[in-house]
Amino acid sequence: MAAWHLSNILITVKFANTFKRLNLILIVKSPEVEKTEKVRAYLKEEYEYFDLVEVLKEKGFSQKVLEKEEIKDLIASSQEVINQIQHERGMLKNEIKIFLEGRINRLEQRIRELNEPPFMIGIYVRPLDREGMHEIFDYVNYRIIAYMIDDLDINKGDKIRYKFIEAKEGGRFVILERHPGKVDTTLGEIIKIEGRYVTVRFDTYHEMMLDIGDFVDSKNIYLKAGATVTLFGNSKDWEILEIKSNVKYGDDLLLEKKPKVSREQIGGLDEAILEIDQAVGSALSYDFIREKVQKLKIERTKGIMLYGPPGCGKTLIARYAASISSRNFINVDKELRSKWFGETQQNIEELFKYAEEKAPSVLFFDEFDSLVPERESGSEAARLENPIVNKFLQLLDGLEEMGDVIVIIATNRPDIIDPAILRPGRIDKHIRIGRPDTRDAGEKILDIYLKPDQLIPHANEIQKYGSAKKFAEAMKETILDELYENNRICNIEKLGLINVPIKETISGAMIKNIVIKTKKYYINRLDKYAKLIDVINNIYHNKLYIEKTCEVLCSYIINECHQVSKELGETAEKVISEIKKDLVSNMSEKIEEDYLLKRIEEYIDQNEGMLIEDAVKSIDEDCGKIQR
């Protein structure tokens, strides 16, 4: 009993100043006595400063009790467990010490880095033959050698962060990382190629010989005289970043090759058509008229400005001008402006060269005021600072030498275009493209878009008006009344127009859009029938219920449509009920898919079509909230 009592005490022993509580597992003595004794001897020698016998004596156990054989074995086993725990504790202390020393060393290194000078920003140029060494432009754009310790994803012309690091063998510059900023560049033109060097002209008159070894080795396809190059560096030392083709614009700019636009396709712009006929009309294509013009020493029209509100037909008139004079129509709808210095001027020059190649041609600039705005007022020097305007003026003055090229510009704001461009001898023909603010003008536009053979009237409308032609006339009169006779005041909040008479906002594009929306209302109503046909196709494709009677199949079709939406279910009920009227005597028989689809088509023809009220609805939508 004393041995069990001692065992319980040994299992949970309190160690003063060491552990608050230590749970011990009772270890059964190994049969390999000699091996166990050796391990015990080692552990006791290693950790003899912690003796379990002495602890038990302090607890009040006598020497006589502790010397009993069974108690000695129990104490020896427990001492072994304690020694193992002590050993693991010592190893853990070493690991913690190593971990803390590492953290402290990294902290000291970071503090030293923060106390060092900050990084500098440069531009990466190229790798050198020696491993790890690279050429860069430093923060003042001088070439230096830097080392790249880590494998970084950096390309020529990228901004980089680098710093100077002290080392035993001497200081060195080290590239740290890629900088997110953009490099300042300029444009130049290759004048001459000599082996691995080229002469580049930039800033109009500066020339410099530069190394192109990288581009020669990579066999750059654009490396030829006249090519455009992008440069970075400083005023005395430049590096070529990129070589681009000098042919930037091609046949993708030909909106139409000699477009065919007749008078009948233009509504409400009779005065503009007359002025275009006089400026570029086909009369000059006859030799005897051209001889008279030459005798009178009259210069041909080189430039035309079409100005007026948006959506009133400026582009259409420009195409008409190209059509009546059998010219290629070049629509400059690409973004000409560039963030790179000098590239916008070069783009404009290339466009004029392309127009010369395609002569006779019309070079059409839409929204011209955003491309070439008025130069700043003030001194002549200040006015000359806008290189885009200067380049355009230079090209306009050279149109005679270019051949048969006419420049047409379109703008909503002629007041902000530089007056020098609009003076006589340049863009000197100014044609206003006004709003169709009269009923007669609106009627001519509707005659183009409301043709009877392009309408699908509702059966009720045909019954009311008698024919598609009379329906078209009725719709035209309704639209004209709504736009011109009812003194409509509209609020187009999205355009910032509040309580504005509709005659001040109407345009040819708006009238065209009203007709298109009227047609779309009809098309949108057909969508539910398309979904119904999809359900039927799916049923027959998957062979669901098709072997059943007509009654069962029709019920299944309606149920499936209700699963899709309530609206589709109601549509299916109406259509199926009409079909079933003709199948009263055959409801117990099967029904073919083709028959169902044909009957749906007949139902659509009898119950759907364009409505006069759709036109009024589209006008309300285009004009916002109205006051009649």
CATH class of the domain defined by 120-178: mainly beta
The yes-or-no verdict on residue 269 having pLDDT over 60 is: yes
* pLDDT (mean) for 500-524: 85
Long-range contacts of 554-560 (CB under 8 A, 24+ apart): 554/579, 554/580, 554/591, 557/532, 560/535
Lowest mean pLDDT among 36-45, 125-134, 347-356, 578-587: 36-45
Q: What is the pLDDT of residue 582?
A: 73
pLDDT grade, residue 25 (50/70/90)? very low
Q: What is the pLDDT of residue 536?
A: 84
The yes-or-no verdict on residue 363 having pLDDT over 60 is: yes
Q: What is the pLDDT of residue 473?
A: 92
Please state, in angstroms and rounded to a whole number, the distance separating the CA atoms of residues 184 and 141. Answer: 11
* pLDDT (mean) for 367-391: 63
Q: What is the pLDDT of residue 242?
A: 87
Residue for token pair 């430039």: 303
Please state, in angstroms and rounded to a whole number, the distance separating the CA atoms of residues 184 and 159. Answer: 10
Q: What is the pLDDT of residue 7?
A: 41
Provide, for the chain, the percentages of residues in helix, strand and coil under a 3-state DSSP scheme, each rounded to the nearest 5.
50, 20, 30
Q: What is the pLDDT of residue 257?
A: 59
The yes-or-no verdict on residue 323 having pLDDT over 70 is: yes
Percent of the chain surpassing pLDDT 70: 75
Most confident segment among 158-172, 576-590, 592-606: 592-606
Superfamily of domain 251-432: P-loop containing nucleotide triphosphate hydrolases (3.40.50.300)
Please state, in angstroms and rounded to a whole number, the distance separating the CA atoms of residues 274 and 420. Answer: 26
More confident residue, 582 or 308: 308
Number of H helices, E strands in the chain: 24, 21
The yes-or-no verdict on residue 342 having pLDDT over 80 is: no
Q: What is the pLDDT of residue 19?
A: 38
Please state, in angstroms and rounded to a whole number, the distance separating the CA atoms of residues 43 and 196. Answer: 78
Rounded to the nearest integer, the mean pLDDT of the chain is 76
Percent of the chain surpassing pLDDT 90: 2
Most confident segment among 137-146, 277-286, 342-351: 137-146
484 DSSP assignment: I
Please state, in angstroms and rounded to a whole number, the distance separating the CA atoms of residues 277 and 287. Answer: 17
Q: What is the pLDDT of residue 17?
A: 37
Domain residue spans of the chain: 2-91, 120-178, 186-244, 251-432, 439-524+613-627, 527-607
More confident residue, 390 or 383: 390
* Model pLDDT for residues 185-228, shown as the tens digit of each residue: 888 888 888 888 888 887 766 788 898 888 888 888 778 777 88
Q: What is the pLDDT of residue 2?
A: 42
The yes-or-no verdict on residue 326 having pLDDT over 70 is: yes
pLDDT grade, residue 376 (50/70/90)? low
Q: What is the pLDDT of residue 124?
A: 92
The yes-or-no verdict on residue 627 having pLDDT over 60 is: no
Please state, in angstroms and rounded to a whole number, the distance separating the CA atoms of residues 271 and 214. Answer: 60
DSSP 66-121: HTSHHHHHHHHHHHHHHHHHHHHHHHHHHHHHHHHHHHHHHHHHHHHHHHSPPPEE
* pLDDT (mean) for 4-9: 42
More confident residue, 585 or 516: 516
Q: What is the pLDDT of residue 605?
A: 87
pLDDT grade, residue 248 (50/70/90)? low
Please state the three-class secondary structure of 279-307 as a single string: HHCHHHHCHHHHHHHHHCCCCCCCEEEEE
Please state, in angstroms and rounded to a whole number, the distance separating the CA atoms of residues 459 and 613. Answer: 14
The yes-or-no verdict on residue 142 having pLDDT over 70 is: yes
* pLDDT (mean) for 493-507: 71
Please state, in angstroms and rounded to a whole number, the distance separating the CA atoms of residues 212 and 202. Answer: 16
Please state, in angstroms and rounded to a whole number, the distance separating the CA atoms of residues 220 and 230. Answer: 14
CATH of domain 186-244: 2.40.50.140
Q: What is the pLDDT of residue 73?
A: 79
- The two domains 120-178 and 186-244 share their CATH topology (first three levels equal): yes
pLDDT grade, residue 539 (50/70/90)? confident
* pLDDT (mean) for 489-506: 69
Element (H, E) at 241: strand 238-244
* pLDDT (mean) for 619-623: 77
